[in-house]
Amino acid sequence: MTTATKRAHWHTRAGFLLAAAGSAVGLGNIWKFPYITGENGGGAFVLVYLACVTFVGLPILLAEVYLGRESQRNVVQTFETLHRPGSAWRIVGWLGLLSAFCILGFYSVVGGWVVHFGLKSVTGALSAASDATVEHYLEELFASPALLVLWHTLFMGATVAIVARGVSAGIERANRVMMPGLIVLLVLLLVRAAAMPGFGTALEFLFRFDFEALSARGALVAVGHAFFTLSLGMGAMLTYGSYLTGPHSIARTALGLAVIDTAVSLMAGVVVFTVVFSFGQEPGAGPPLVFVTLPLLFKQMGGGQLVAVAFFLLVFFAALTSAISLLEVVVAYASERFGWTRRRAALSAGAAIYLLGVLCALSFNLLAEVKLLGLTVFDLLDSATSKFTMPLGGLLIALFYGWVLGPRAVAHTVGRPVSALVCQVLLWSTRLVAPLAVAWLLVAGLVDR
């Protein structure tokens, strides 16, 4: 492995953990988790979700990090290195590149909305305006091609700038600032929430297991989210894992990662639902929860402007650290495959994804009528990746790890000698449990679009 020595690496193992946590903690934790929990009845959904993270998410996470660390290559060449040159498994890598490309296209647009609301809260436009005005901020934004594209440009520009600086000097450094910042902001918000009347109701809503409220559909949403929230199935964790060295156990790091990600989701859930219940609102508002419901409620609470600023800054950090990891998947491939400098790879990949993002942004207004399979560009990219390319990628990664690499890989993943039982559980999770759960997700997703 001659090129492996030339390859960039994390400066420290903690740097890897922070960066991987940065990838995992994203809009999925702060925007999506609360609203799907709200829609699926609270506690019982949370419990099923935790089971899915443990038995589906964690095994695939371990597999991805292991594949990257072992091959010291990007998402496509990993499969050739670990299997054989020209191996058909490299298609999994292409699928990953496709996912990264498409996800970042729409993720950056949503990142732009966060910038928009963040600025509105800083300038006081969120606290000073009437309820009716605030209620329409999101619609107004959707109606403005110029604003949507402007914020998307800014967000994508920031992502490219960080990735272009490199693994350690760019990605690791940015995460070192933003991730602790995110945790501090979240804890401050939690402390503020604890003083509000809806805090108890929120805890009860999230942690009381009412199985009546759970449906098969809810369980399906839980599998899908366990997958999405850990950034699995498209090579992000694989690529970050490829900058790791040494024979250490991956298991402990991956477990830490899953715990951090889950803790952030739960804390964000408590904050969001405390605000919702304190003002007697319904938890099942769906996607507009964070962008419409919360701003309205921030307006009414004491110190609401400060809370709003903290909240949107938190979401911004979460989104940006995830976007970075998405771009890195493509940049690692382009620079290693074509021998491009990192700068060139970041600029070219960034520019191409940026253009796709512009189409997404415009699909809310000028291109609203351009539809494929009844979906706008934005919805198409979102559904195609979360329902198809990511689950399929994850399924194949689990199978490759469990069946092609098998017990030897499992022993290397776990690292030091632990009980044979743990190894068997990991082996059969990747061979059977995770693939079956993900296959169910795939089939159900295709059946009812």
CB of residue 279 to ligand TRP, shortest distance in Å: 26
Minimum CB distance to ligand TRP smaller for 42 or for 57: 57
Minimum CB distance to ligand TRP smaller for 72 or for 231: 231
Closest by CA position to 221, among listed 351, 89, 68, 28: 28
CB of residue 124 to ligand TRP, shortest distance in Å: 29
CB of residue 33 to ligand TRP, shortest distance in Å: 8
CB of residue 326 to ligand TRP, shortest distance in Å: 4
Task: For residues 154 and 109, give the distance between their C-alpha atoms in angstroms, rounded to a whole number.
Answer: 10
Closest by CA position to 442, among listed 371, 376, 379, 384: 384
Minimum CB distance to ligand TRP smaller for 197 or for 287: 287
Minimum CB distance to ligand TRP smaller for 23 or for 175: 23
CB of residue 247 to ligand TRP, shortest distance in Å: 26
**Cα(first)–Cα(last) distance of the chain, in Å?**
45
CB of residue 410 to ligand TRP, shortest distance in Å: 24
CB of residue 386 to ligand TRP, shortest distance in Å: 8
Minimum CB distance to ligand TRP smaller for 254 or for 414: 254
CB of residue 204 to ligand TRP, shortest distance in Å: 25
CB of residue 123 to ligand TRP, shortest distance in Å: 27
Minimum CB distance to ligand TRP smaller for 100 or for 427: 100
Minimum CB distance to ligand TRP smaller for 23 or for 376: 23
Minimum CB distance to ligand TRP smaller for 356 or for 410: 356
Minimum CB distance to ligand TRP smaller for 23 or for 335: 23
Token digits for 309?
Answer: 């600023």
CB of residue 314 to ligand TRP, shortest distance in Å: 13
Task: For residues 305 and 302, give the distance between their C-alpha atoms in angstroms, rounded to a whole number.
Answer: 8
- Contact positions toward ligand TRP, by CB under 6 A? 23-24, 26-29, 103, 228-229, 231, 234, 236, 322, 325-326
Minimum CB distance to ligand TRP smaller for 199 or for 228: 228
